[in-house]
Each structure stands twice: as structure tokens, then as C-alpha cells.
Structure 1
């Protein structure tokens, strides 16, 4: 600083003359030099994901990745002639602990890191935590499969709040592969908990979030991240060539020995069967069952009463038609939110975007602050390319208690709290607005302190309603089996949102 001060004096002497210089020099000799020390701490933020979870990614500036892709794109035909590796591979079994990984978010110790996780009311943004969980699942998957394959999140079975977090504290994110038969998929179980003291173990009441995700691997090669993702998806991302077919490959099977490992593996096996059953019985393939058909008929009869001039019954004030609950959003996908393969958007970013739109939709529907309960079974369908436009449509598709129950169903129509299920459908288009492709369907459940109901009235809305009802019943059963979940009153006490 002193050197800088003297340099400034010299420059002034040249422009002002010797007299001014002598005056300035005399004044400078009587004024003590104040030396200011500048320091900076390492930034705790990256593209919205905790830095330790992105440390293993290939750090390539976007401009370099783009130029490389443009050069390689001119000779893309050469890449298509590359010999394909065999689909079946001999892989040795691994233990669950081989893929175990954990990180600690020092939210209580680092106020600037905490600043990137808070919303306007001082609550921890769950959408940002979801980004970290998706990044963590990627780290775990690669520890299990190795770097010679590309692993993509295929679905999220659920993210459930176990116990409310009542104070800002350091959080420990941990997880491992808990189900892998040796075929081309695996299940990863993770949790977010209050970070324990050194030498202590996490207590059950300190677990904030329980999360299960399914991942699919595809054969990749070093240095060709974009093509790896392109091969995995069918159809490929819009505007890109589709001469390469999806090539899922086998992964290492798991060997289990302890009682806890056997329990986790059994849960993964059950979740796999549920996913297969859900596909086989989907409403897109089969008509509603008898009970569901009776429910549709009951709704239709009720709406006839609402419009019958000779019937005093009218739609209650707390009932709202489904098409009035819709909120939409569109945003362009920027390279700052790309994944490790450079040209596709990070899946955790999509979770964050869809969660915040779902939260807003639930709030607009109920005119009350929603409390997050769970992310119910959701699927990723197609990749989202950098530079594309993502369209999201959120709809309230189910409320519990319902306005009309199925025959024999027991519920409290005067319940103070209502569970609101919001479905977010996302699709992607290129900037020129060519073909659109679905990218995923995400189902979020919130609790609101209000007696409010949603009412379907078209056939499409009835299908959305029945699909959501099936999912709600399915989630209830699995949560009861595992003994997780929390009451609406305790959920309101959480500092997360």
C-alpha cells in the first residue's frame, strides 16, 4: 500500500509541478500510512451444489467444452464406427460399504454457505438440499460402477421428511448403493441428518430426510461425456443426431451379510417390484378398476347435482376445479447448470426447479403456507440439453381427505389439515421450437392447514386424479411399513421449506 501511495505521488509530480509535489510530500510525511489487509475465504458455492460434491467432476470451462464439441461434431460419423463393448460383463460383487459416501454441510459454522441455502423467511431451501442429494447419488453410483460407465438418475422413489429440523445446524449427507442384482440398474439410499459430534453416531430422531433413487448406467468412454448421455437416451436430445442406440450395461451385484444390509436389500427388492407393477398397471395401458370407476361415477353424479336448478346442493366453497389450480413456467437452460458431461442439465437442478414450482402451486391453491411432506415416485424420461427451453406445468391433482371417497373408504371430511399432491410435468424444446419431448414427471406432497379439496371434471383430469390417488395409497403403505414420516403439526415446526 505504501508503494502504491509513493507511485501516486510521483505521477502527481509530473502533472502538477515541483511546488505541488513538495506540498504533497510534506503532508504525506505528517499523515501516517494506513495499511489495509485484504483477505478472502474460499467460496462455498458452485452452481448451487455443495463444492465437495462436485470436486470429482471434470472441471472444463464451458467455452472450451463448446469449441471441442463443435470440432468433434464435424467428424461425428467417425465416432459412430467405434466398436461397441459387450452388453454382458463379468463383474465381481461388492459390499454396500464400498460405495458409502458422506459430506458435512457446515451451515451453522459458515454463514456465507448458509446464505446460499436460505429463503426469505430464514428457512433452509429444500430444493437446494435436493440438488445436493442428486449430486451425492452420482458420487455414490460412480464409486460402485467405476468411471468407465455413465450413470444417470432414472427415478426418485421418494424423498420423505422423517423428523423436523428445529434449528440451523451442520447437516451430514450420506448414502450408499443398497440394491443391485448385477443387471443394469441399482438403487441408492441416502439420508440428511443433523451432523453428530466427533465420535458419536447419528440418532434416529436427528434424521431429517430419507431418500431413495434409482440409477441406470450406460457404457461410456473417457472424454466423450456428451455422446455418453446421447447414447443412453432414446430418443436423443433434440437437435442432436440419433445414430447411436442406448446401451445399458450390467453393474456390480451386491453381496449382503449383516441383518441391516439384508433389510435394506429387501426394501430395494420391494421397490423394484413396485416400479415394475406400476408400469404394468398404469392407466395409460389399462382402464380404471371397478372401485375407481365407481369413484368417477360418484364425482359425475355430484357435479350433476351442483348444476341442477331443482337441487339445493351447490359446489362447496372449499372445492376447486382442477383446471383452476394450474401454474406454468418456462426457462432457458444455461451452461452454468450443466452436469459432468457438459452438454446436459444436472438432474438436481430439475428437482429444485420443479419443487419450487410445486410449492408455489400448493400455496396459490390453498392460500396458505405449505409444508413439504414427500417427493413421491417420480421419473426422469429424457435429458435436458443446455440451451433448450424447459416448460413446466404444475397441477394440484389430489387432496387427502378427498371431497368424495371410494366406496368403503374412511376419512375425516372436517380435518383441519389437507394433504395436497402437486404433479409437475416437464417438457423441453429447442430455441427454434421444434419438436417437444417429455423430460420427467415429478409428484410432490405438501400439507396445508386448511380444509380444501380439488375436483376433477374431464376424463383426462380423472385419470390424473386416479393416478395420484394410487400413488398416495402406495406411499402410505410403504411409509407405515418402514415407520417413517411425521405428523402435520410437527412438520410445521421445521426450519426447512
Structure 2
């Protein structure tokens, strides 16, 4: 697997129990007011200093190869850490900053969740750096490069955070392997004097050496106390479930007999009633239905230096924000009303995106069920010299609307497979609702 440096990711709501157990997602014994948490701007400044990448244009990133000599030769040579060691908070002070309000708001005064996802991604990197404690490191610049391998499923509460309310991110490392870490990040909105939980994200992060060419050992994590033990158990359960989740992919699991029947039934609803070989291509949509191909929307861009991360490649949090915003637009065109983002399926990052490449996003409504839309967004990058195009990500977003929507029908076999994949992701979302004790789509 190729890891995408510093990208975003998010909540596996099957573990909603841990949010109820620690509703404020805090392991700290000090309150937020006493802690005086850093702002999101201060977070970015600290990471710039820690990585030795100050703001400003540079055609090539600074040489960090000399820092490799400070890396640990084995995991056993590093001190053992607990969850409180990495715990931290960051404030997005929307209530007092007009500049931030302009950056985070949509036209309805609600917070753009894509912007918050970017911050959650950055915060996850910071928490990993806090977890790592290496006695060999003597300078202020870290020899570690933290990259994101994947993000677990994210679900959102039903309310929409408003841009005049502060938001807060809290989190810590909840699991650690030899070179990997699982990071839990909670997002809350300050409403009527109280912090109200909105979403929780779980990132699988990997520590690499200073040049991002091989893995680097990280500290073992030993939970202390019942709260940490509970969070650690849930992290181990998620690790086991990730293997099972791979079966949702058509690459690993071709269409089942039932899914093949679904494709056939969809096809038969669009052919001539007499159904003969002479009428196979004479297809007609049922009432209140559209072809999947008519729901396609796309956008292209040439990344600029402002889109880069500390490794001089495209920032993954921004990648996720752009995919989310195009997916929302695709859902809006189909629904003709403002959809609400309900769920994001697990995200894996197959390859990094060079800053000097072209990016293309293509969105399509893959499945409709009641008042829910399953939208797929494919991200592709094209090398400017070789002109080779490759897929870096496939995103699956679940949107909720106020009323039932037009059904979508595939017109080609590849669209039929996309529809099957969409149904699988939506069925997984329904299981998430069941695990949270919430009603199923009606």
C-alpha cells in the first residue's frame, strides 16, 4: 500500500458507545478553560516548526535526510506511552473571528464540514507526534513523517453546526503497532454554553522516516485505567473489523447471486414489455427514474503550492473536502433540495498526488433508497509529463433528503457494478444506524 501523506479521515459509528462513555472525548484531568487550548492557526504553526517547513514558497522541500540517524533502531528502545501522553485539544474560534467565519461558512450560515475535516486531519498528525517520545531526538525538528493510511467510516449527528458557534477538536492515540497508530479525534460545537458532540473520526496513521521512504518505529501504548482500557479494546475491535470490511469491495468480492439478480431485475424494468432479442437495445426508463449516467458531475483543477502538505504533495484533507463538496453538488442536482451529509464510508489512500499534476473528480448517484442518496466520487490524477492517469481515491457519501427521490438505473455493466457497490455501502450504513439504536430509512 502507498500511504498518502497527512490526509484526512473518520468515525466508525459501530463504536458509538465510546462517545457516550466519554461524551466530551477527554482524557485530560484539566478542563478546557484551564488548559487554554491552542487555536487551529497555532496548531499549523507548531507543525510547521516541528517539521522544519516554515511558511513560504519553495520549489523543493527542505532536505531532512540527516535526521534519520535520530530514529530508533527498535521499538523496545522507546519508552512506553499511555493515552494521556498524546491527548490534546484545538479550538476553532468561529465566534470571535470574522475571517474564520468567511472561511468556514456556507451560504446558509452552517459550517462547511470539509473545512473541519481538513483540520481533523492536521490534528491527527499532531497527536501522533505527541505520542512519539524518542530520547535520541535532540533537535526541535522531528525525524518522523506521519502519513495517513486510511480513515474509518464517519457518521454525523442530526444537527448542523452554525458558523457563529466555536468548534473544538479533542483526541489522542488509542492504539499503536510497531510503526502504525490509531488516532481518535472528536469534533464538538459550542451551543448554549455546552460542548455538543457532532462526529468522531478514527485515523490509521503510519510513522515513516524523515524522507518518507520507509517505516519508523513508534512507542508502544499501554492503557492505564478503565477509560483507556475501554478505548484500547475498541481500537483492537476496529482493527479486526477492517479485515471484514474489505469484503465490501468488488475487487475482493464479486457480485453475489442476489446482487446479480438485482442487476437483472433493474435491466428487465427498462426493456420492451415483449422482451425479444430484437428489443434488447430498445430500453425505456420507468416513471420517476433517471439513468445513472445523467447524474454525473465532474470538476478538474491544477493544484497550487497552497494545496501542499509538509511533504510537498497534495494535502489529503483538501482532497477530501473537494470530493465532499462535489458529492454534495451531485446529490443536490438529483434531489433538487439541500441534502444533508449523513455518512462517509471508509477511505483508503492508494497513492500520493504530486503538486505538479492535474486532478479530476467525477461524481455519480450510485443508489437511491427512500430519501437517501448514495453518491460515489472518483478522484484521478494525471502526470503532466507522461500523461498517465491513475485513480487515487474512491469516496462513498450518504446524503439524506427531506423526501423520496427518483430511482437511478444503470445503462452499462460498469454502471451496474457501481450500483451494486453503492448498495453495499448503503447497507453498511443501515447496520451503523442499527448499532446506534437509530431508526432505519423509511
Distance 1:451 1:462 in 2: 22
Q: SS where residue 54 of structure 1 aligns?
A: helix
Deviation readout 1:233-279 (Å, 9 max, x if unpaired): xxxxxxxxxxxxxx234433322243433332233223222322233
Q: SS where residue 124 of structure 2 aligns?
A: helix
Check conservation: 1:174, 1:190, Cα contact below 8 A.
Answer: yes
**Structure 2 match to 1:333:** 303
**Structure 1 match to 2:385:** 432
Q: Cα offset for 1:305?
A: 5.1
Change (3 A) 1:348 1:306: farther
**Structure 1 match to 2:117:** 130
Distance 2:439 2:123 in 1: 25
Q: Cα offset for 1:306?
A: 6.5
Deviation readout 1:3-52 (Å, 9 max, x if unpaired): xxxxxxxxxxxxxxxxxxxxxxxxxxxxxxxxxxxxxxxxxxxxxx9312
Check conservation: 1:62, 1:335, Cα contact below 8 A.
Answer: no
Check conservation: 1:162, 1:486, Cα contact below 8 A.
Answer: no
Q: SS where residue 151 of structure 1 aligns?
A: strand
Q: Cα offset for 1:95?
A: 1.4
Distance 1:487 1:112 in 2: 40
RMSD, matched Cα: 3.2
**Structure 2 match to 1:66:** 59
Q: SS where residue 478 of structure 1 aligns?
A: helix
Distance 1:60 1:110 in 2: 24
Is structure 2 residue 102 aligned with structure 1 residue 115? yes
Deviation readout 1:178-225 (Å, 9 max, x if unpaired): 222x2332222211112489xx984xxx112222222122222xxxxx
Q: SS where residue 325 of structure 2 aligns?
A: helix
Q: Cα offset for 1:102?
A: 0.8
Deviation readout 1:400-419 (Å, 9 max, x if unpaired): 24xxxxxxxxxxxxxxxx11
**Structure 1 match to 2:408:** 454
- 1:215 is aligned, of 174, 184, 205, to 205
Check conservation: 1:307, 1:314, Cα contact below 8 A.
Answer: no
Q: Cα offset for 1:135?
A: 1.1
Is structure 2 residue 294 aligned with structure 1 residue 298? no
**Structure 2 match to 1:244:** none
**Structure 1 match to 2:129:** 142
**Structure 1 match to 2:169:** 173
Q: SS where residue 394 of structure 1 aligns?
A: strand
Q: SS where residue 261 of structure 2 aligns?
A: helix
Check conservation: 2:377, 2:396, Cα contact below 8 A.
Answer: yes
Distance 1:261 1:482 in 2: 22
How many residues align? The count is: 383
Distance 2:338 2:287 in 1: 19
Distance 1:111 1:302 in 2: 53
- 1:445 is aligned, of 398, 405, 408, to 398
Check conservation: 1:377, 1:471, Cα contact below 8 A.
Answer: no
Distance 2:184 2:207 in 1: 17
Q: SS where residue 57 of structure 1 aligns?
A: helix
- 1:57 is aligned, of 47, 54, 70, to 47
Is structure 2 residue 342 aligned with structure 1 residue 373? yes
Q: SS where residue 454 of structure 1 aligns?
A: strand
Check conservation: 1:306, 1:314, Cα contact below 8 A.
Answer: no
- 2:291 is aligned, of 321, 337, 341, to 321
Aligned pairs for 1:7-156 (under 5 A) are: 50-58=40-48, 59-63=53-57, 65-66=58-59, 88-90=74-76, 91-145=78-132, 147-156=142-151
Unaligned runs of 5+ in 2: 1-38, 134-141
Distance 1:325 1:161 in 2: 25
Indicate the structure (1 or 2) with the bigger Cα radius of gyration.
1
Distance 2:340 2:165 in 1: 20
Check conservation: 1:344, 1:386, Cα contact below 8 A.
Answer: yes
Check conservation: 1:194, 1:207, Cα contact below 8 A.
Answer: yes
Q: Which moved more, 1:141-150 or 1:389-398?
A: 141-150
Distance 1:318 1:259 in 2: 54
The TM-score with structure 2 as length reference comes to 0.77
**Structure 2 match to 1:411:** none
Q: SS where residue 418 of structure 2 aligns?
A: helix
Q: Cα offset for 1:293?
A: 2.3
Distance 1:288 1:257 in 2: 45
The list of structure 1 runs, each at least 4 consecutive aligned residues, that deviate by more than 4 angstroms after superposition, is 82-88, 305-310, 485-489
